Structure 1
Amino acid sequence: MTAATTPRPTVLVGLIGTGIAPSLSPALHEREGARHGIGYVYRTIEVSPREVDEGGLGPLIVAARRLGYDGLNITHPAKQRVIPLLDALAPSAEAVGAVNTVVFEDGRAIGHNTDATGFGRAMDDALAGAARDEVVLVGAGGAGAAVARALVDRGVGTLAVVDADEARAAALAAQVGARAAAPPELPRLLASADGLVNATPLGMADHPGSAVDPALLDPRMFVADIVYRPVETALLIAARARGCRVMPGTGMAMHQAADAFEIFTGEAADRRAMLADLEDLVAQEAA
């Protein structure tokens, strides 16, 4: 007789959101699962904004639990709407007021936010030692809220939140102890800023352009972008040309996924390998 082999674990995860068919998350998570010998299955679950508005999110969460999902990633437009449907929030989600990761654990659904932790880890990697007395954040949406929390947690002295929606900027600024500003104030704010972060969709392949006039960039400042498709956005290209220290969006995207992977599996993610995977997937997409 041969000794029985220990069954390898299986993990079933889903992504709920709108327009998620092109997501790189399934491949990124499944590649990392394979490195750990895990039968890792990651499925996309498309929902329309109307379904979310009309209460369709709750039945999906219940169904996922009954079908044996270990967890879910949550993206637009459900990051806030999912909160009342959960049993508890981790400190990361409480701090941001949004959930992008749900784990089903001991009969409970617990919400986490790895957008904030992912951006923070990316800063640690790319911007260690960079001055951060004054930082300007452009974009006060869901991603901006996570980035703002990470910036405050990383010791930014004065944070200015800029958004075309002044009420949204004011609400986020009040939440994190920052100051709100309108886009016309950018020249004055950037004249003394140590750093600039773009948390808007501008720079994405289907939203070309830059959230900031490149003429306002100065070599003394760091420039970070959360957009990673493409990796080299118009903003980062201009910042490099002006001698700024830059942080592309791939770092946040990788760490966000790695943090979620660790929550789902209890295994330590190979972050260097996951970054290489992400860069490979983005390159394949662009080819």
Structure 2
Amino acid sequence: MTAPTEFLVGLIGEGITASLTPPMHEREGRHLGFDYEYRILDLLESGRAPEEVGAILAEAREQGFAALNVTHPCKQLVIPFLDELTPAAEHIGAVNLVLIESGRLIGHNTDWTGFRSALLTGLPDARRNRIVQFGSGGAGSATAYALLTLGVHRLAIVDVLPERAQALVNAYAPLFPDQEVCVSTTDSLHTDLATADGVVHATPTGMKEHPGLPVDVTALAATAWVADIVYRPIDTELLRAARSLGHEVLDGGRMAVGQAVDSIRLITGSEPDAIRMRTHFLELLGDGAASRVVAAWGRV
């Protein structure tokens, strides 16, 4: 009997010891028939600075790693140490997956594809002509890129730092010249929300550590949908408020699973089972997350 193919994978970042990525990868890797090991490389645990990410990559290459996921605060810092970037990673300006192929370090971004697949599977019939997005940081860059690749006609970006939103507009407008990418200002926000087909929330607001309601859902048209990238809790205050008014919603767990699905595909060359991974992810969240999602939305 042939021994299973071995994959050694890691995650570089700060404060990531409780990440759900390792168990997601390892279980799905085993389902696919691989000897799959996933290690946490927490900068806080090792006492290393984010600027040492290049040295960490070099060490991982020497140790036989097949790939490394990258998260905060290294998604941009890692780029100068790579041999190649995919076009999407270059456009977004962030890398969350480094493949090690024949000694070369190849930077990918599966955050945008993860959100894209989340939207297509979670809200398959949603209109996407006019979208308002809250947040233009690292996650917002990925979700905006995904929206524009899906053909959104008008994407209005809101940020507490208008200059950051404008920088994202300046980066993407030339890439998508037939679509409108703009900053939603205080003066235009009410109209933008009232005429939006959907709203994407891509800031930390709503996380357990950052409670609050980032969007006034009462300003939305009755037919608008609401997507959140926050997944702890899986049923955020924003989603509960939107659902109570009859809006279709998309939870942040779908993006988290989507990026993991795409990462595993790139690492192994095999097709992960996205539904199986989604179910496992909800189990990992605990606190009856799977039951609560099914009760709220009628589906996993």
Matches for 1:2-151 after TM superposition, within 5 Å: 5-47=1-43, 51-52=49-50, 55-151=51-147
Question: Counterpart in 1 of 2:215?
Answer: 212
How many residue pairs are counted as aligned between the two chains?
281
Distance 1:137 1:231 in 2: 19
Question: Counterpart in 2 of 1:226?
Answer: 229
Distance 1:230 1:169 in 2: 26
Q: 1:286 to 1:277 in 2, by over 3 A?
A: closer
C-alpha distance after superposition, 1:158-196 (max 9, x if no partner): 001110011110001111221013466432320111110
C-alpha distance after superposition, 1:220-274 (max 9, x if no partner): 1010001111111011001111111111111111110010011111111111100
Gaps of 5+ in 1: none
SS at match of 2:286: helix
Question: Counterpart in 2 of 1:170?
Answer: 166
- Residue 283 of structure 1, aligned match among 283, 286, 291: 286
Distance 2:212 2:95 in 1: 29
Distance 1:22 1:93 in 2: 26
For the 8 Å contact 1:217–1:239, the answer to whether it is kept is no
Q: 1:27 to 1:50 in 2, by over 3 A?
A: closer
Distance 1:184 1:202 in 2: 22
Which segment is superposed worse, 182-191 or 152-161? 182-191
- Residue 265 of structure 1, aligned match among 262, 268, 272: 268
Residue 190 (1) aligns with residue 193 (2): yes
Distance 2:198 2:217 in 1: 14
Structure 1 position 284, deviation (Å): 5.0
SS at match of 1:14: strand
**Percent identity of equivalent pairs:** 46
Please tell me the residue identity of whatever aligns with 1:69: F
Distance 1:184 1:199 in 2: 21
Distance 2:280 2:88 in 1: 26
Which segment is superposed worse, 41-50 or 272-281? 41-50
Distance 2:17 2:288 in 1: 13
Distance 2:187 2:7 in 1: 48
Distance 2:283 2:262 in 1: 20
Residue 256 (1) aligns with residue 259 (2): yes
What value does the CA root-mean-square deviation take over the aligned residues? 1.8
Question: Counterpart in 1 of 2:176?
Answer: none
Please tell me the residue identity of whatever aligns with 2:255: M
Q: 1:12 to 1:103 in 2, by over 3 A?
A: same
Distance 1:124 1:137 in 2: 17
